[in-house]
Structure 1
């Protein structure tokens, strides 16, 4: 059973926290996913084996947290992450963001720069509401969205994704690829070449746009968006370990 915390906005967030040494690791999940996914559970086991503090949680409207998914937006979920990190962790953290979680991680880093020791992005999807959703909508879909929401087919569920006007409008207030993006800590971006949801071009754009002393992108041939094969999971863990070693070696973790 998860524990629960309440955010300053009054949302009830479900979480699992593993005690251990710092810098801790925080897993930030994707759009419509939850903290019981393959990557989150694998990393919790990895952190426990390392004696490393670890936090996973559900954004509002996701998993076991309060709220309706359709009421939420990027800004809400970033605020949930900021609240969880502020309340449930101590000192600098390595943020591990999967898909939408990569965007959330960048927003957390902007809001809480002193609390970020490093970042690992897994098929990170910054600005996807604008560049992936809105940009690909037909005129008819945009007209439908103007009335409140539009339904999109999903490769991952039997029912369609419902995209709300608020998700798109709020996303425009959270964009990170339109203005300077400083990442003054170790960053590892992991990306599959067979990812059709967040193509490699997104990772290359993020790498090109961000500035920082230690940014690297690793492309994995034929890996898809889930990035959850044993080899991919091992690569995620190795990337976190490398970021931790560099953060601790440069004193950013102190």
Structure 2
């Protein structure tokens, strides 16, 4: 049974496993939820280690209230922070997958006192601007701005609805346009066969971040899901490495 808190009128669902600190927090991707393979595998690992663990659903995602199309990066960042503040104590190791990687960077930039380390998996910083908006042709951009939304194909089922609010709110939360200094150990994981987030994005983020302990691991032929047995084992090892480096 999920636990919940309320933010901005929406019930935010989460599952917190008690254990030793620093705890581990998993932040999922765009239109993903806390029942994904990576979240559950990491929870099993944390439980076996006796380590505190938290997974959650942003508003409009999974078991949480709200409507997906009404949300934006800022909303989901604030959702994540509200749950982290409510369900954890002290600095946490944040594991961010895809959009969750972007949100984890916002957490680290805005609330560094709550972050002990970062692990990103196919991080997608600024994807609303550098992915969707950059790829839209003039007609698609006009549709978004005039009608407020456009549907685009998805490799994961139903088309995604990209809204004007998502684009404009994303511009208020970009992380690749201003300095990004991180004072914690960071491990970035990226598959070379990822068609949603290219290796070039990981290299751009690596070059942009400033810090004393930042490493990028490229996994040949891994795709955006990053959910095979070896992929999951690498995520766990990366979390262990970050904890050891704290």
Instruction: Give TM-score scaled by structure 2 length.
Output: 0.99
**For 1:167, what is the secondary structure of its paired residue?**
helix
Residues 17-166 of structure 1: pairs in structure 2 closer than 5 A:
17-146=16-145, 147-157=147-157, 159-166=158-165
**For 1:153, what is the secondary structure of its paired residue?**
strand
**For 2:141, what is the secondary structure of its paired residue?**
helix
- C-alpha deviation, 1:11, in angstroms: 2.4
Deviations 1:81-121, CA, capped at 9 Å, x for gaps:
11111111001100000000000000011121111000000
Equivalents in 2 of 1:65, 1:151: separation in Å? 23
- C-alpha deviation, 1:49, in angstroms: 0.3
Q: Which residue of 2 aligns with 1:179?
A: 178
Q: Which residue of 2 aligns with 1:2?
A: 2
**For 1:160, what is the secondary structure of its paired residue?**
strand
Equivalences, count = 245
- Which runs of 4 or more aligned residues in structure 1 lie more than 4 Å from their structure 2 counterparts after TM superposition? none
**For 1:85, what is the secondary structure of its paired residue?**
helix
- C-alpha deviation, 1:10, in angstroms: 3.0
Equivalents in 2 of 1:153, 1:57: separation in Å? 26
Bigger proportion of residues as strand: 2
- C-alpha deviation, 1:43, in angstroms: 0.3
What's the C-alpha RMSD, in Å, of the aligned pairs?
A: 0.6
Equivalents in 2 of 1:17, 1:151: separation in Å? 34
Residues 233-252 of structure 1: pairs in structure 2 closer than 5 A:
233-247=232-246
- C-alpha deviation, 1:80, in angstroms: 0.4
- C-alpha deviation, 1:150, in angstroms: 0.6
Deviations 1:24-62, CA, capped at 9 Å, x for gaps:
000000000000000000000000000000000000000
**Unmatched segments (≥5 aa) in structure 2:** none
**For 1:17, what is the secondary structure of its paired residue?**
strand
